[in-house]
Amino acid sequence: MKKIRNIIILLIVIISIIILGIIFISVQQKEREITETNESIEIMQQETTLEESNKVMEIDEYLEIKKCIGSYLNELNIDSSAYYGYDESGNYVNLASDNDNNSSIINLLSDEYVKKNSIELSNVRNYTYKIESDCFFIPVEIVNKGNTDNVKSFGVYGLVENQEFVPMFESYLIINIDKNNRTYSIEQLNSKDEVYNVKVNVPSEIIEKDNNVFSEVGVTQEDLIHEYINDLKRLAFGYPEKLYNSFLDKEYKNRKFGNLDEFKKYISENRDEIEGINPEKYQISEYEGYIQYYIIDQNNKEYVFNVKTPMDYKIMLDVYTIDLPQFTEKYKTATSQEKVALNIDKFMQAINAKDYKYAYNCLADSFRNNYFKTQADFENYAKENFYSRNTVGYNQFDTQGEYYTYSIVLTNKETEEQKNKTFIMQLGEGTDFKLSFNR
C-alpha cells in the first residue's frame, strides 16, 4: 500500500513538472511573439519620427494627405466618371446636375474659405481649379501649419498631371485633417510662398458631410515604396526638371548626369523601363538622420530612396554610380576575388543600364587608348558585343602579379544565349578599379 502511495506521489510530481514545463514554454513562446511584434512596430516608429523643423509628419499622415487631395482634385473634374451612368434609354451620360456637383465641392472646402470668399453654388467654380480629366497628385512640399486638439493643418505644394503623364498645373493648398472624425477640408492658395507663410486659423472640428470622410490608412512599407515608385514615374515623365532639381541626390545626379539635359536624355532613352518599374524586393537600413529604402525591381534594377521624413527624401537610380555604405563595408572585408567580382558586377550593371559613360570610365587607360579612343567608339562596340540584359556567371579566377583575371559567362536574359569573356582588373585605392577584357 505504501509502495502504491509512493508511486502515486511520484506520478503527481512528474505530471506537475510536465505542466510547469508546458507553462514555461508557453510563456517563453508568448514572450518571443511579443518581442518580434514589438521589433516590427519599433522599426516603423523609428522610420516615422525622424525630425526636421516643421516638415515632420508620420507615414500615415503623408498618405492620408495625398489621398484626400487626390479625392478633392478628382471631385473638381467636370468630366469625372463618378458623375456618369446610364439613363433610362441606356445612354452613358452625366447624371449629376451642376448644383449636385457644386454642392459636393463646397462640402470639401473649409468653412472659413467658403465664408471669406462668399462661396455658393453659383460661384464655387471661380474659387477652385478647372479640371477636365482624371489626374494624379504629386506632393512636393508639405509643411505643418498648426493644430488644435483634433485637427492638424498642413500647407501643401504639389504637381498635377493627367493619366498620360501630361503636366496640368501646380497646386497650392491648405488641408485640414480631423483625426477624430476622420474628415478633411481644403483651402486653395495662390502661390508657393503662401504655402509657407500664410497664417491658418485651424478649426477645432470638421463636421462630417456627404463626401469629406476618409478611411483610415493601413500603412505598410510596401505601400510607401509603391507610392515613391509611382511618383518617380510621374515626375520623370511629367516634371523631369522638378525630379532632377528637388528629388535626385545631389552628388549622385552631378556624377551621373552633370546637367538637366543629360537627365532628360536618360528619361527619353529609358522610358519603357521606367514606366514598367515593379518593385519586387526591398531592404530597409537605418543610418544617422535618415532611413534607406533599397529596392530591386523585376529586372533586377536597383533604386535607393534616402528618407529623412516621408516627404523629404532623395533618390538614386542605381547603386553603382555612388557606393552605398553597405557596399563600402562589404568591400573592405572582401577578398581580392570578391572585390573583382563586385567590380565586374558594377560594370555590367552600367552596361545593362546603357550607361556607357560610367562603363567607359572603368576602362584601363592603355586599353581605352588602343581600342576605344572615344566614348562613342566604346558605345558602338558595347551595343554589338554585349546583350541588352546580361546576367553574369563566374568561372576561373587567377592572379598575375598586381592584376587579376576572371573568366565569366554572360547570359542573354531574354534568349538564354551565352558568350564567354575574360576580364583583367587592377584594384586601386578604396573602391577604385580599372579593367579590360578580351574583345
Q: Which of 14-28, 306-320, 386-400 has the lowest mean pLDDT?
A: 14-28
**Shared domain check, 301 and 249:** yes
> Same structural domain for residues 2 and 63?
no
pLDDT score for 428: 96
In a shared domain, residues 380 and 297: no
- Give this prediction's pTM: 0.80
Which pLDDT belongs to residue 22?
41
Which pLDDT belongs to residue 230?
96
| Domain co-membership, 186 together with 80 | yes
Considering 305, 322, 339, which residue would you say is the last residue of a domain?
A: 322
Q: Alpha-carbon distance 319 to 337, whole Å?
A: 20
Please indicate, yes or no, if residue 117 is contained in any of the structural domains: yes
Domain endpoint, select from 31, 48, 65: 48
Mean pLDDT to the nearest integer, 286-296 = 93
In the chain, what percentage of residues exceed pLDDT 70?
84
Show the cell assigned to 343. Answer: 567590380
**pLDDT value at residue 218:** 74
Do 355 and 389 lie in one domain? The reply is yes
pLDDT at 274 over 90: yes
- Are residues 338 and 279 located together in one domain of the fold? no
Range of the domain at 382: 331-437
Model confidence pLDDT, tens digit, residues 82-139: 666 777 777 776 666 667 789 999 999 999 999 999 999 999 999 999 999 999 999 9
Count: domains in the chain: 4
Q: How does residue 34 score in pLDDT terms, banded at 50, 70 and 90?
A: very low
**Cell representation of residue 168:** 496640368
Residues 297 and 402 in one domain: no
Q: Which residue has the higher pLDDT, 229 or 34?
A: 229
* Residue where a domain terminates, one of 300, 322, 344: 322
Residue 42 has pLDDT above 60, yes or no: no
How many CB atoms lie under 10 A from the CB of residue 247? 19
How far apart CA 121 and CA 361 sit, in angstroms, is: 64
Give the C-alpha separation, 43 to 48, whole Å. Answer: 9
Asked, for residue 420, whether it belongs to a domain, the answer is yes
Note whether 366 and 343 are same-domain residues.
Answer: yes
